[in-house]
Chain A
Amino acid sequence: MAPAPTLPVQPPNGPTLPVAESSVPPQQRSQKQMTKAERRELQERQRAAKADAKANGANGQAKQPPKSVPPPLAATSRKPGRPAEPTPKPPATPGLKGQSHTRGAPSIAETGPPNARGLRIFSHFGLPKPVSVAKGDIHPIILRLALQFSNFKITGANARCIATLTAFKTVIQEYVTPPNNTLSRHLMTHLNPQISHLVAARPMSVTMGNAIRQLKLEISRMDIDLPEQDAKDVLCQKIDNYIRDRIIIADQVIEETAANKIKDGDVILTFARSSVVQKVLLGAMEEGRQFSVVVVDSRPMLEGKRLLSVLASAGIQCTYILLPALGSVISEVSLVLVGAHSIHANGAVYSRAGTALVAMMAKQHSVPVVVCCETYKYSDTVQLDSFTKNELAPATDNFSSFPLGKSRDALLTQNQINLEILNPLYDLTPPSSITAVVTEVGVIPPNSISSIPIALGRLL
């Protein structure tokens, strides 16, 4: 019996009749009998067909990943990617891809040979997507925050965490426990869609993750008998305390400790913009130490410019260079101070892309590298490379700062079908390149970072 012609569902086992086979070749054979390449081809074709249908369909549905091939093709080595997504990732094989570059635009159907792959090795880097229709009842302040995150108006681990917690305070205050429910149990389910919405706007930072985990712990610990307003006030108080203790005061302690490492006549090098390092340098300046700063910056984010303007207006002597110029300056530097997005149990530091280069170069020239990091950025995981977990920078106009000898159109990549731009936001500095990590519980060598929870267990 010939099975249904179009659905690639597993046909009844056993080889099909030769008649059926000849009429509708590979598709009708059992999936198990197809070779890997044939299965892949099949998937490709279906995907292309779906993408076609999509492109002709509603434009706004760009975000929907086509759920192709219902039976999981466990044998394919490729992750179920999303060719419909207009992400600027380089194709692993030079296939023809007519993908649009700007965010939010509908995908253009894949034309050309069916083995157009694309999005292979970097498909797991989530690109910040434009915030789509919010699912569920999302508080307007969360909507606003998500928009700010996805437009990179709020950047930096500390800033994002504080903004998130502050927004949650409002959400909690305006929350009303539905009847027959307790705050400690229901508030969590109320907050979850808000959190998902933020994560959809931009992947969560480790700081946000730790803070939210702590918040959930506090919520679950709430006394059931407490009247609602009291419970909400207690929670807001706890959030305030968390921000105060783990971020603000921690920064003050780090500022004092790290400023002690700055001696008169030092040349301090820093990379991009870390809020903690900024505080350290301004604090040391106020204490009257004489030093100069080299700010190293890198495209496309160019966050160092903000740091430069703050330091220069405080009266600190600054030099500004881009990352490729680092090799020429490093021999003049006495100390490297960098911030971190998160630190891991094996002592690796996850920070803005380029930090690893700065640290490794400094280590080669025997310049001490000091990472300033609060303990709430500690993540129990072990990270070994920059690859398994990362994020891509938004596809901004990369050429706005270029001198325009050529016409703009020639530089933009929409017209370059063989060119994709890859801008990871973070990289991993191995513990061997780091001399010391300054936290609020003390100065710790990188290989002993895993003792932070022990130190914290005493304090908390």
Chain B
Amino acid sequence: MATSESKFDLRSTYRKNLENHEISPPLAAILALSELVVNSGAGTMFELVKELHGGAEVLKKSTTNPISLNAGCELFIAFVTLFPHESDSFAELKSELMKQGQKYAREAISYRDKIAELMLGFIKDDSVILTHSYSRVVMKALLHAHKTKRISVYVTEARPRGLGIKTYESLTAAGIPCTVVLDSAVAYVMDKVDFVLVGSEAVVESGGLINAVGSSQIAIIAKAGNKPFYALAESYKFHRLFPLSQYDLPTHNPSILSFRSPQAPAARSAPSGVSPDNQTPTISISSSVTPTAQSSRTMSADQIACNPDVDYTRPELISLVFSDVGTLTPEAISQYLVAMFAG
């Protein structure tokens, strides 16, 4: 059937788009959906929108963290619905829509440069910046600032995925002094920091931020330490979601933070080399400690599965959101979203 073929196209098209490193999930979704438009058998606008909704559902199911993808889908569907149908034939309209979708994706790649330029004014010479995990837009901003100013960067490890190390490697390769800090050492380091800079998965209607887990923590500490907390987000990441709390996120499910029945120690996949007998009461850092008798433990995959991937940062904790549509306060996000989507 034509629809199942195009569905098949959809997922693989989406994944193919993601292979391009510059393209983030929402853009990949927009590109995939615009190809779906051309490949669809719909004859009227109503059918087309229905198919797009179906396609978006398929894409959402294919990933565990659909929030940013959703933002892109909603944006494209809203665009399609509001597009003036002046063309004579429906086929023309569809190809026009696809062209627009692709044009948007091309332009959107340049958004990161716009944001980096906006951010530049807020970075003083000799700034010490704290960032979290790995974000392409934050990388662009930091590399752009490095060209004209001196900056040094602390980056959190961002367990369990450890993407902070990736940031560290890219920054040191570019010549920016960088140090990885433990997630638990953020409060320790906060007084040395001038401001905090994070990327985003999505910016929501309340003006809050959805980002890799740990961002909310850093924001709270920044607030307590009176340091500004800046978020960088392209406009296609703005989402009409309104989480009332951490547990109101669509990514939250009952298994997260649940209490499991205690399992036998053998069942737990323990890291190799650790046995209770070898554990020394004090942690000695000297070279006499062999790697097999290490006194640190790591979480098992099961235990990591009980933990969230993303968290929600409340709008009161965010100082400014830098986006290609400008530098916005959290309150302005809602006004922008209302203006965009309420029509």
List residues of A whose CB falls within 8 A of some B CB. 261, 335, 366, 368, 370, 435-436, 441-445, 447-448, 451-452, 454-455, 458-459
Contact = CB atoms under 8 A, between A and B. Distances in A.
A442 B240 contact: yes
A444 B338 contact: yes
Given A443-B242, A447-B331, A458 B342 contact: yes
A435 B244 contact: yes
A458 B343 CA distance: 5
Interface of B: 205-207, 240, 242, 244-245, 248, 315, 330-332, 334-335, 338-339, 341-343
Contacts of B244: 261, 335, 368, 370, 435-436
A459 B341 CA distance: 11
Closest 10 CB pairs of A and B: A368-B244, A448-B334, A455-B342, A443-B242, A458-B343, A447-B331, A451-B335, A445-B206, A451-B338, A455-B338
B69 to A, nearest CB: 20
A442 B342 contact: yes
Contacts of A445: 205-207, 242, 315, 330-331, 334
A91 B242 CA distance: 48
A4 to B, nearest CB: 64
A139 to B, nearest CB: 39
Contacts of B205: 442-445
Contacts of B248: 261, 368
Which of B207, B244, B245, B332 has the largest count of A CB atoms less than 10 A from its CB? B244
Which of B206, B207, B248, B342 has the largest count of A CB atoms less than 10 A from its CB? B342
A284 B205 CA distance: 23
A324 to B, nearest CB: 27
Which of B205, B242, B334 has the largest count of A CB atoms less than 10 A from its CB? B242
Given A442-B205, A444-B334, A454-B338, 9 more contacts: A368-B244, A436-B242, A444-B338, A445-B330, A447-B207, A447-B331, A451-B334, A459-B342, A459-B343
Contacts of A370: 244
Nearest to A265: B254
A444 B245 CA distance: 15
B242 A454 contact: no
A366 to B, nearest CB: 8
Contacts of B315: 445
A368 B246 CA distance: 11
A19 to B, nearest CB: 71
A436 B241 CA distance: 12
A126 B52 CA distance: 57
A458 B340 CA distance: 10
A448 B242 contact: no
A145 B16 CA distance: 68
A441 B206 contact: no
7 contacts: A366-B245, A368-B248, A370-B244, A436-B206, A442-B205, A447-B207, A455-B342
A35 to B, nearest CB: 51
Given A436-B206, A441-B342, A445-B205, A454 B335 contact: yes
Given A261-B244, A261-B248, A454 B331 contact: no
A451 B338 CA distance: 7
A454 B332 CA distance: 13
A441 B338 contact: yes
B242 A451 contact: no
Given A441-B342, A455-B342, A458-B342, A448 B245 contact: no
Contacts of B341: 442
A454 B339 contact: yes
A368 B330 CA distance: 18
A441 to B, nearest CB: 5
A453 to B, nearest CB: 10
B335 A448 contact: yes
A261 B331 CA distance: 21
Contacts of A366: 245
A451 B206 contact: no
B336 to A, nearest CB: 9
Contacts of A436: 206, 242, 244
Contacts of A459: 342-343
Contacts of A443: 205, 242
A370 B205 CA distance: 14
A442 B206 contact: no
A284 to B, nearest CB: 15
